[in-house]
A and B are shown apart, each in its own frame.
Chain A
Amino acid sequence: AQSVTQLDSHVSVSEGTPVLLRCNYSSSYSPSLFWYVQHPNKGLQLLLKYTSAATLVKGINGFEAEFKKSETSFHLTKPSAHMSDAAEYFCVVSGRGTNAGKSTFGDGTTLTVKP
């Protein structure tokens, strides 16, 4: 069994300030973890993925996430927010091998960036 909890449904930051979107997961096996972004009226796009090669994962557009097994967390960060970062963000957990097909999404965090 697997589940994802995104701890904040809405996050608001000012342009140029750091972004932190929090995600905790639960999994019966060694998980694969992803962050996807959904801009209004656009499809879901992968930001980054954790594959167990390194605990600190770098993604597109300056985002990164750190896998912390002891805390079962995979928080998404960015040093400096840009107006174009305003979107819905989803944390996703899936299994590996034969369990790789079933992905569980969190309920999403809406990021607002103020000028």
Chain B
Amino acid sequence: GAGVSQTPSNKVTEKGKYVELRCDPISGHTALYWYRQSLGQGPEFLIYFQGTGAADDSGLPNDRFFAVRPEGSVSTLKIQRTERGDSAVYLCASSHSGTGPYEQYFGPGTRLTVT
């Protein structure tokens, strides 16, 4: 079946603007994860959903970042008042859930550039 998809693949926005990044997980995967990857670094955990609820949002850097998954499938990462430091590749992953550990399947990412 289809893998994890993310849209858009690239997003250029001006400082101070609002952006939304979308993630479509693999069908049937109840767990969904968001990461941020800056150049030369490993992915940094942002938030993890089990179904519709955020099970762990401890990685969100501040209150400008917010994510939703209203129907337990598609998720949207929302960034308000973007700053140049938000520029990075935003990765989404999905997996089965339970006692685990389960392999996370990653999407290709959205490259966000804040000018």
Interface residues, chain A, with chain B CB atoms under 8 Å away? 4, 32, 34, 36, 42-46, 49, 51, 90, 94, 96-98, 100-108
**With A101-B31, A105-B42, A108-B41 given, is the CB distance from A46 to B100 under 8 Å?**
no
CB-CB nearest in chain B for A52:
B101
Q: Is the CB of B59 within 8 A of A102?
A: yes
Compute how far the CA of A3 lies from the CA of B99 in the bound complex, rounded to whole angstroms. Answer: 21
Compute how far the CA of A34 lies from the CA of B56 in the bound complex, rounded to whole angstroms. Answer: 20
Compute how far the CA of A51 lies from the CA of B98 in the bound complex, rounded to whole angstroms. Answer: 14
Compute how far the CA of A106 lies from the CA of B43 in the bound complex, rounded to whole angstroms. Answer: 8
Interface residues, chain B, with chain A CB atoms under 8 Å away? 3-4, 31, 33, 35, 40-45, 48, 50, 55-56, 58-59, 91, 93, 97, 99-104, 106-109
Least distance between B40 CB and chain A CB atoms (Å):
7
Residues of B within 8 A of A94 (CB): 100-101
Compute how far the CA of A102 lies from the CA of B35 in the bound complex, rounded to whole angstroms. Answer: 10
Q: Is the CB of B48 within 8 A of A96?
A: no
Q: Is the CB of A101 within 8 A of B48?
A: yes
Kindly identify which residue among B31, B50, B100, B108 contacts A96, using a CB–CB cutoff of 8 Å. B100
